[in-house]
Amino acid sequence: MTLARIALKGLALRIVFLGPPGAGKGTQAAMLTDELGYQHLSTGDMIRDEMARGTELGQFAKTFYDKGNLVPDETVIDMIKFRLADIEDVILDGFPRTVVQAATLDDELSKIGVSLDRVIFFRVDVEELVERLEKRREIEGRVDDEPEAIRRRMDVYNRETAPVVDYYRDNDRVTEIDALGTIEGVRERLTEAIA
């Protein structure tokens, strides 16, 4: 099914993108939201915005962010909670990143009588990821794409976020896509998975 048909069907979609750093979640989320008019909620972008504005939250988050560590659950949940009360047609990118965040998201959605429509897991090869992140560092200059921070983020992913995939797998909510290859190829597989 094409994206236009997804839009035409008027499917209300609350989608979570899961996968390791550099798997292409942000790129795909931005493309889909542009085409379908969905909201793209990226906690990473929200944190970068807080840091750029030098807010108290941003200064606190920076101490974790720069090293490639996760910002504490309470901080991220406080930051995103008010955005969850009224979400429809949204792609959550980079949240939830821990099982505590995933359970909180379920609770918040159940309070408003809705649930997630799709959880998409971006499956990739670690070697390719490191290469992608190194390229991104050359282009975007993100401090957390420095080699040491990349290693830390991979460790953090394996320890904290991989269990989130299992959390959703336990109740059969995961659709897995092959996220290797060209942006266009991934986009096609993603569209299939969402439709």
What's CA 70's distance to the chain center, in Å? 13
Catalytic residue status for 118:
no
Catalytic residue status for 189:
no
Catalytic residue status for 25:
yes
For ligand AMP, the closer CB: 24 or 44: 44
Catalytic residue status for 142:
yes
CA–CA dist 79, 172 (Å, integer)? 28
Catalytic residue status for 9:
no
For ligand AMP, the closer CB: 40 or 144: 144
How is the beta sheet containing 90-93 ordered, strand by strand? 39-42, 90-93, 14-18, 118-123, 174-178
Asked whether 65 and 144 are in contact (CB, 8 A), the reply is yes
Min dist CB 118 to ligand AMP, Å, is: 18
Asked whether 76 and 83 are in contact (CB, 8 A), the reply is no
Q: In DSSP terms, which residues pair with 120 in a beta bridge?
A: 17, 175
Min dist CB 116 to ligand AMP, Å, is: 15
For ligand AMP, the closer CB: 65 or 167: 65
The secondary structure element, H or E, covering residue 84 is helix 73-84
Min dist CB 170 to ligand AMP, Å, is: 20
In the complex, the residues that contact ligand AMP under the rule CB under 6 A are: 21, 43-44, 47, 64-65, 68-71, 76, 94-95, 97, 101, 144, 153
Alpha-carbon torsion (133, 137, 141, 144), positive or negative: positive
Min dist CB 5 to ligand AMP, Å, is: 29
Q: Which are the catalytic amino acids?
A: 25, 97, 136, 142, 153
